[in-house]
A and B are shown apart, each in its own frame.
Chain A
């Protein structure tokens, strides 16, 4: 239980003294730092206990329906927007990935061509001829090379090998 004066700590205004009996002192006589009186400072508030236990909310099925309608509509709108936007987002993400993979594929293809060129350089007959001469290798004569096949004696030779 408190009045405004007690709350704002104004001791010169006794809570018990009625407003009408209070003697107004000249402003100049008062402490300069003292707060001025609030309007309705003397009004006292009391807590009043209210018992609503017997109150019953009136049934309103239409309001509930409307609520669910709003929720449903919002969900539908959200789903609709998701359906609309998801492919775009996915498309954008896939686009990034695709471009990245495409660039990588191009790089790999270029690397492959470069490696093929290096391989061709390594396997050039002139280079092989030089290497063979260095190791005293000679070209086989005609019919000296026998291509093994999976038949007859060749088959046995292949197994033995």
Chain B
């Protein structure tokens, strides 16, 4: 009897134990993951550790773009018990218009929409107030929002981001990988009240790197202000300015007009078009600015020198069955090569180009960086147009010599100007100074022309400002040099050049040791007042002056230099406008109406009487110079002893020409 009872008991205990074991196996092994997941869902909270998008700073550390945390409120209208009460409550807490919110909520409810943004970008106080309501149909979405505190300033450089903070233009797009960072994930152990007890970071968040640009905020502002004013003043369509350090390629300012505010999404086609970066992405025919390249190639590859007389054929040249007109028909017979640049003679440039030859010309145009991207980290950069040598036509050499049949960007022109300014080296434009704490490496420059060629070109470009078409670019307290350009815009519909222009100016200052290169372009100007010397040179003057002030470059001229040529120039400018002729009135592909129509000092043809031979003034005082000049007209600049002179010693000085002498201590 006892054994039977014990057997029953043992059996019962065994079954009981077996059941427990089975349940344990089910809990711990079979459904282990399920229960772990359920436990974690109750005890842990998985949160995403957002990676803050990197800020973009200017060269002085001022923020140009930065991300700030935001919170937005949305509701589920289908779960709202009383729409009127809800709209009243939300309108009061979020400072919204009650009637408008009620209407929106009603519409969403009627359309069976379960989601409605109530207000985006609420303040922390508003977020706290809303959260304290603890209503299940109100939700707060936290995130990050990109802000550009200076609105449209440097917008074309910065670009913008989409609603997910992914770059969609400019630096934001080009450096997306560095700026975006990588978000992380963490599991937070919480108590019953969902308060965090412990945090286990599964994946560390890596914030985006802070990008420091070479742009100077203040200079950028001045550049944008001036180009905007010039475009409006001259009824142009668009414009751009590039300010560049010629030695290391740092872009100090890069402005494009029309502007846009990257804080706001584009609403129409006009807004979208304003986002085009004209300095980098919109090439144009440069016109006479390109003569700098032609003359540089000539100095490098031929025996032509600044004082070499160039036959300008009286302003009319027939080439391969085409008649090419200079702006100053009947004015220029022979001009020294420096005069060709100063007065922007198209025929003279063509003559020089023909002397250089196709191969050398193509080679030097390539060497100066045209027809290829500069490598600046901006989305949408254009490489311009430079046809390969086999595709050149019979008149291509002549056209390219004076800046037609080739298209360039303002940035490419600035880069080419830097070659002249820094002594012959082609530098890569540098827009990013630092990525995080790491300084961006500087690519070694490539020699393009000899240093003496660069110096000679600088002297000739100074002549453009002093005596040529770029007088409006003369700076107060600094020497400057440059080249104007006014290229007719080609109409692809009529296949002819129009009477609208790309007015441009490529300049540098101070001329002896340039600290900045500034290129200004206005597209779509019209009439005589639309030439580069009129529209772009004044912008250069203001922007270059501001750049030199910001960079604290020592002055190399006294502030008030008497301009003896002003009156003569004004009178003769009018004469030039009167003399300006378009020849037979038919558009000509080689016709390059130039700014010298508006601002040139007429130079007598080489057949005019010789005034004398220019003496060597180097090291003399002003008194000694005037004595040595023996009646030849001298234009002194500065004080001290003579350091530079133009024309050089031994040159022939024609009637009406002056010897410019630069004095320094």
Which residues of A are at the interface with B, using a C-beta cutoff of 8 A? 91-92, 95-96, 98-100, 102-103, 107, 110-111, 113-114, 116-117, 120-121, 123-126, 129, 139-145, 147
Q: Is the interface of A mostly helix, strand, loop or mixed?
A: helix
Say yes or no: A102 contacts B199, CB within 8 Å: yes
What are 30 pairs between A and B in contact, CB < 8 Å? A96-B197, A99-B195, A99-B196, A99-B198, A99-B199, A103-B196, A107-B124, A110-B124, A117-B63, A117-B66, A117-B68, A117-B149, A120-B149, A120-B150, A123-B62, A124-B149, A125-B153, A125-B217, A125-B218, A126-B150, A126-B151, A126-B221, A141-B545, A141-B559, A143-B549, A143-B554, A143-B555, A144-B549, A145-B552, A147-B552
The contact of B189 among A95, A125, A140, by CB within 8 Å, is A95
- Give the A-B pair count, Cβ closer than 8 A: 89
**CA A132 – CA B197 in complex, angstroms?**
53
Say yes or no: B68 contacts A142, CB within 8 Å: no
Residues of B within 8 A of A110 (CB): 68-69, 124
Shortest distance in angstroms between B199's beta carbon and chain A's nearest beta carbon?
7
> Known: A92-B197, A95-B197, A102-B199. Contact between A113 and B68, CB under 8 A?
yes
Q: Is B511 an interface residue (CB 8 A)?
A: no
Say yes or no: A125 contacts B221, CB within 8 Å: yes
Residues of A within 8 A of B476 (CB): 141
- 7 more contacts with CB within 8 A, not counting A92-B197, A100-B196, A143-B555, are A95-B197, A96-B196, A107-B124, A113-B52, A120-B66, A125-B221, A142-B552
> Known: A125-B217, A126-B153. Contact between A117 and B196, CB under 8 A?
no
Q: Is B168 an interface residue (CB 8 A)?
A: no
Residues of B within 8 A of A145 (CB): 549, 552
**Binary CB contact string for chain B from 52 to 75 against chain A (1 if under 8 A, 0 otherwise):** 100000000011001111000000
Residues of B within 8 A of A92 (CB): 197-198
**CA A124 – CA B151 in complex, angstroms?**
9
Q: Is B305 an interface residue (CB 8 A)?
A: no
Say yes or no: B66 contacts A113, CB within 8 Å: yes
For residues 47 through 104 of chain B, which have their beta carbon under 8 Å from a beta carbon of chain A?
52, 62-63, 66-69
**CA A144 – CA B220 in complex, angstroms?**
21
Residues of B within 8 A of A113 (CB): 52, 66-69
Say yes or no: B63 contacts A116, CB within 8 Å: yes
Q: Is the interface of B mostly helix, strand, loop or mixed?
A: mixed
> Known: A117-B66, A129-B221, A142-B478. Contact between A124 and B150, CB under 8 A?
yes
**Binary CB contact string for chain B from 317 to 336 against chain A (1 if under 8 A, 0 otherwise):** 00000000000000000000
Q: Is B140 an interface residue (CB 8 A)?
A: no
Q: Is B188 an interface residue (CB 8 A)?
A: yes
Shortest distance in angstroms between A90's beta carbon and chain B's nearest beta carbon?
12
**Binary CB contact string for chain B from 179 to 220 against chain A (1 if under 8 A, 0 otherwise):** 000000000110000011111000000000000000001101
Residues of A within 8 A of B69 (CB): 110, 113-114
Say yes or no: B66 contacts A96, CB within 8 Å: no
The contact of B545 among A95, A98, A120, A142, by CB within 8 Å, is A142
Closest partner residue, chain A, to B551 (CB atom): A142
Shortest distance in angstroms between B221's beta carbon and chain A's nearest beta carbon?
4
Residues of B within 8 A of A120 (CB): 62-63, 66, 149-150
Shortest distance in angstroms between A141's beta carbon and chain B's nearest beta carbon?
7
Give the 5 A-B CB pairs with smallest separation, nearest first: A99-B196, A120-B149, A125-B221, A95-B197, A142-B549
Residues of A within 8 A of B189 (CB): 95
Q: Is B309 an interface residue (CB 8 A)?
A: no
> Known: A126-B150, A129-B221. Contact between A143 and B196, CB under 8 A?
no
**CA A155 – CA B476 in complex, angstroms?**
30
Residues of A within 8 A of B548 (CB): 142
**CA A114 – CA B69 in complex, angstroms?**
8
Shortest distance in angstroms between A98's beta carbon and chain B's nearest beta carbon?
7
> Known: A96-B197, A102-B199, A113-B69. Contact between A143 and B552, CB under 8 A?
yes
Shortest distance in angstroms between A100's beta carbon and chain B's nearest beta carbon?
8
Say yes or no: A142 contacts B151, CB within 8 Å: no
Say yes or no: B68 contacts A139, CB within 8 Å: no
Shortest distance in angstroms between A138's beta carbon and chain B's nearest beta carbon?
12
Residues of B within 8 A of A147 (CB): 552
Residues of B within 8 A of A143 (CB): 477, 549, 552, 554-555
Closest partner residue, chain A, to B220 (CB atom): A125
Say yes or no: A95 contacts B151, CB within 8 Å: no
**CA A114 – CA B188 in complex, angstroms?**
26
**CA A92 – CA B62 in complex, angstroms?**
43
Say yes or no: B549 contacts A140, CB within 8 Å: yes
Say yes or no: B549 contacts A141, CB within 8 Å: yes
Say yes or no: B477 contacts A124, CB within 8 Å: no
Q: Is B358 an interface residue (CB 8 A)?
A: no
Shortest distance in angstroms between A147's beta carbon and chain B's nearest beta carbon?
8
Residues of A within 8 A of B549 (CB): 139-145
**CA A95 – CA B68 in complex, angstroms?**
28
Residues of B within 8 A of A100 (CB): 196
> Known: A142-B555, A143-B552. Contact between A114 and B197, CB under 8 A?
no
Residues of B within 8 A of A107 (CB): 124
Q: Is B546 an interface residue (CB 8 A)?
A: yes
The contact of B546 among A99, A103, A116, A139, by CB within 8 Å, is A139
Q: Is B147 an interface residue (CB 8 A)?
A: yes
**CA A147 – CA B196 in complex, angstroms?**
53
Say yes or no: B553 contacts A142, CB within 8 Å: yes
Residues of A within 8 A of B62 (CB): 120, 123
**CA A99 – CA B549 in complex, angstroms?**
51
For residues 449 through 494 of chain B, which have their beta carbon under 8 Å from a beta carbon of chain A?
476-478
The contact of B477 among A98, A111, A121, A141, by CB within 8 Å, is A141
Say yes or no: A99 contacts B188, CB within 8 Å: yes
Say yes or no: A117 contacts B147, CB within 8 Å: yes
**CA A95 – CA B195 in complex, angstroms?**
10
**CA A142 – CA B68 in complex, angstroms?**
37
Closest partner residue, chain A, to B57 (CB atom): A120
Residues of B within 8 A of A116 (CB): 63, 66
Residues of B within 8 A of A124 (CB): 149-151, 153
**CA A61 – CA B197 in complex, angstroms?**
52
**CA A99 – CA B195 in complex, angstroms?**
8
Closest partner residue, chain B, to A112 (CB atom): B68
Closest partner residue, chain A, to B186 (CB atom): A102
**CA A102 – CA B199 in complex, angstroms?**
10
Shortest distance in angstroms between B352's beta carbon and chain A's nearest beta carbon?
36
**CA A86 – CA B94 in complex, angstroms?**
47
**CA A96 – CA B63 in complex, angstroms?**
36
Residues of A within 8 A of B546 (CB): 139
Residues of B within 8 A of A99 (CB): 188, 195-199
**CA A103 – CA B69 in complex, angstroms?**
14
Closest partner residue, chain A, to B475 (CB atom): A142
**CA A142 – CA B218 in complex, angstroms?**
14
